[in-house]
Amino acid sequence: MNYKHGYKELKACGVDTDCAVCKPKHKNEKEILLECGEGTGRRTFTSSDDVPFQLARVTVDTTSLKRSEILIKFSSLVKAELVNNAVVRLKYELFRSCGGRQPLSIGSWIYEKDTNGSVFNSVEESFDFMFCECQTFNDCCDYLVVVTPIEIIGDGVTATVRNGRMAALTQALCDDSKKENKKI
């Protein structure tokens, strides 16, 4: 399936916005689908009061699959600038929105860094996670990752998130008529 959002559409989509618009392109049932998502830019957080930021999204159309299993892989880069007794804690939250319904949080992960007694510490590293779920329904769903600053403590402390990447690997779990599991 080649489903593309325009860059302007991606920028306009938020956690409260329904953006998945799938038109089934698979007339016959498929066993495996791979969808590559898109990043939505970068954001520098300087306070725990900063607004959450949607870092990446991927759209998955399971209408051609029976009882699908979906594996979401996400990665990003985080650059933390920490000064004397500083702490950065960010929450990465995965949301799913299917069929025009409100996004539902389906998992969260925490990135945390502190100075560990150093006067100054600048670090840039990757942050990633994988998430797997089974779906008993066939639908078009958006999966999106939102980053929220939980704790940014210290003068001049910043955390920049960027290069968000998502991919979804989806497969049919089993064919009820044959009663056999299909594995990758």
- The residues pairing with 108 across neighbouring beta strands, listed in sequence order, are 93
Tell whether 153 is covered by a domain: yes
Tell whether 167 is covered by a domain: yes
Tell whether 53 is covered by a domain: yes
Tell whether 165 is covered by a domain: yes
| CATH value at residue 11 | 2.60.120.760
User: In Å, what is the CA distance from 45 to each residue of 14, 76, 153?
Assistant: 18, 15, 11
Tell whether 2 is covered by a domain: no
Domain total for the chain? Answer: 1
Tell whether 1 is covered by a domain: no
Range of the domain at 95: 7-181
Per-residue pLDDT of the chain (184 residues; tens, 9 = 90+): 232 333 233 333 444 444 555 555 555 556 788 999 999 999 999 999 999 999 999 999 888 887 889 999 999 999 999 888 899 999 999 999 998 899 999 999 999 998 877 777 889 999 999 999 998 878 899 999 999 999 999 888 999 999 999 999 999 875 544 444 444 4
pLDDT of residue 28: 54
Instruction: Name every residue whose Cβ is closer than 8 Å to that of residue 178 and which is 6 or more positions away in sequence.
Output: none
Q: Determine the Cα–Cα distance for residues 169 and 132; give it in Å rounded to an integer.
A: 9
Looking from the CA of 6 toward its CB, the CA atoms found within 13 Å total 3
User: In Å, what is the CA distance from 16 to each residue of 27, 63, 179?
Assistant: 31, 24, 40
Place of tokens 């991919």: 167
> Residue 117 phi/psi, 5° resolution?
85, -10
Tell whether 69 is covered by a domain: yes
Tell whether 89 is covered by a domain: yes
Three-state SS for 112?
Answer: strand
pLDDT of residue 15: 44
10 Å Cβ neighbour count for 54?
Answer: 23
pLDDT of residue 21: 54
- The residues pairing with 35 across neighbouring beta strands, listed in sequence order, are 168
Instruction: Name every residue whose Cβ is closer than 8 Å to that of residue 31 and which is 6 or more positions away in sequence.
Output: 65, 171, 172, 182
